Structure 1
Amino acid sequence: MFGLSARCLLAVGLLSSVLLQAGNAAEPIDRFGVQYDSADWPLWRGVQQDGHAAADATPPTQWSETDNVRWRTPVPGRGHGSPIVAGNRVYLASSDHEAQTQSVYAFDKSTGELVWEKEIHRGGMDKALQKLNQRATMASSALAWDGERLFITFIHDEAAWVTALSTEGDTIWQKRITDYTIHQGYGASPTIYHDLVIVSADNKAGGVIVGLDRRSGKVVWEHTRPKKPNYPSPILLQAAGKDQLIMTGADLVTSLNPSTGKVLWETPGATTECVTSTVSNGKVLLTSGGYPESHMSAVSVDGSKEVVWENRNRVYVPSMLMVDDYVYAVLDAGVAICIDAATGKEQWKERLGGTFNASPILVGNTIYISDEDGTTYLFKAQPDSFELVGKNQLGESVFASPAFSGDQFFTRVAHRDGDKRQEYLYCIGN
């Protein structure tokens, strides 16, 4: 009898422990009708599309080719698209310019093992490759995950396409969005809003932003854009009491109702060609562009169309960060800056060196950003002064931004051996 009671008490104790651990687990993050875990990085720039890692992220601050590398695995072809983390998988797009293929790869998050690869398009690159910027690729978009399906956008055969895949690599549907004329390249990533996947394709043949049913691929709404080259991804914000879908560039700052595609407000601004994805503190949103002029501005999100401030900083390719009403950015030429979002006042400016294409990520109060040569700079997100936390070297070429998950992050890095260039996906963790 005593033995039975002891076993019962032990069982109750173990059950209580399990329940307590479950109770301490991170709460799901609801992002416009889709629930994610804090360990997911399911979209370009993370769950909130703002470059902020989850509050419980604890990645290393030091690493090298041999230190704090949990695994690395070769990636066929090349691409500038960032990885995403969805459950126990890491997904990445890549292209082989010689074979003229565009593909998606799935890797095991724990081991780096290639789980599957799926060829999405073959051929149809001849004209695009002639016009493509020498530094660009035909796989510069990040995938998006809605908890069930994966979505990827490519330019193929002079058109923009979006493809929906299962998490096992099966094609669910594929949709041609619009004609597309390559000017520099293409790198707009999809985003998820309730039952929709939203994609953009600004170009000289005539741009569009399209909302499609995630399950069927049916076009729910379409918004026509100017016939101008432009490269940002559409970004979802909750501001001024409503959900807003923001697109900058093509000489406009545009806010759409993400359910219908109807214009909420629109104002001339930004520049013709932008690359950065906008960020906001719910009061202003940031625009930046680099052609035909360098331009940075803060625009009110309340529909008043007010340009609160502007300057001539060239933050053309790396997207920005908004932290506690301060803007942190790294200019393409390698200068880090901090700006008061309300006034445009420059708080500090510091030269890092190098040339930058990847976008910064905020982890706790530390900003991580890599230059083209594989040096990652870590500095504090603080407005009073610049404080460098550290520098780490990995590989010889970095264009993609990393994806953060718990105590690790995943980064796309290229190594060079003479004329040979090989890309790898690294998992960096303590």
Structure 2
Amino acid sequence: MAEAFDAVDVIHAKRDKRELTPEQIAWTIDAYTRGVIAEEQMSALAMAIYLNGMNREEIALWTKAMIASGERMSFDALSKTTTDKHSTGGVGDKITLPLAPLVASFGVAVPQLSGRGLGHTGGTLDKLESIPGWRANLTNDEMMRQLESVGAVVCAAGSGLAPADKKLYALRDVTGTVNCIPLIASSIMSKKIAEGTASLVLDVKTGAGAFMEDEQMARELARTMVDLGTDAGVNTVALLTDMSVPLGRAVGNAIEVEESVEVLAGGGPADVVELTVALATEMLAAAGLKDVDVDAALKDGRAMDTWKAMIRAQGGDPEAALPVAKHSHEIIADSDGCVTGLDAMKVGVAGWRLGAGRSRPGEAVQFGAGVRLHKTVGDRVAKGEVLATLLTDTEDRFARSLEAIDGAWKLENVDEFERGSLVLDRLA
């Protein structure tokens, strides 16, 4: 059977800054999924989109076509409404871990289909896999049963959701077309819409440790994704949040789980609690629960009970000791002052070089590796005090990690310094 279009004509259209028609877009995604469009042709089209952009209708049609490339999940059989959160990722971003059980403790179902880390940002599944026995891969039936009984599930997304995105994502990674708003927005939202959740809260990060460092670009990405969700009938809200400083005081896998459990126990770092509560409040409001006391569920143990049930349901032991790195190295302050800046990207790269992250898909991570921050923004520092502890199982990783983190702390001779709010804006 003859193809409806020719890939070269579609490339020419976008190269020449023309708008792609609905028929061209539907055919392009389908033909690429079927292998009719060659990788080098899709590379050329991705670069043309990167350089010349897409309008709102084109992005919506591109997203719709990617959803149509695979299966769609439905949570209609559940007795409770569903709400979900997606973060664009950052350094120390362990928010999903306390957030999913916290929201579920109010009787709302939270299906968190998560991913693995690549580069300087950690993956939620990698963090949870540091818990002995916990497994990421669930069947759809297991996931549904757990949502009904526990209310929260964090697991790997099935390969059937938006398979076109999986192919295109890998291609963008090796062709310099990752940082492109139409392609990022359609990639994230095709999976989230196909997942079938009733409402979605987006955590779009900006700052040194974020994927979108520039605030204007982050804002444009947030706006685009909210529009895509809304157009697809998903109640979508985005919070624009600051990622110039690492979240919390732990950057790694097991140590981030440990910090998340502290939050669920009613403690933990103030910034992690602030963002967890802000996102939980938005998710519950989107699910129809307004004016609820989110803080109380952290303080009275409800969220912790749901966390333990969620971990056990996926084969993990919430009481088990977590992996501990074999080697540690302390970074000592060489002057006094108050911390007025802490470069999230430098800390993230240091943790990655210690073994907490991976350089290529499929690579193993060290569960105990990472960076413990003893001094963060707003803290007073005396010369000789410990700024951070580097952790790894491979001692020869310290040298390159120390190179990465060098100059991360900004110390100034001021009495005190207060960090601004983490939530910069709300887009709906």
Shared fold (TM-score, shorter chain, > 0.5): no
Length-normalised TM-score, structure 2: 0.26
Q: Which structure's residues are more often strand, by fraction?
A: 1
Length-normalised TM-score, structure 1: 0.26
Q: Which structure's residues are more often helix, by fraction?
A: 2
Which structure carries more relative contact order (alpha carbon 8 Å, separation 6+)? Answer: 2
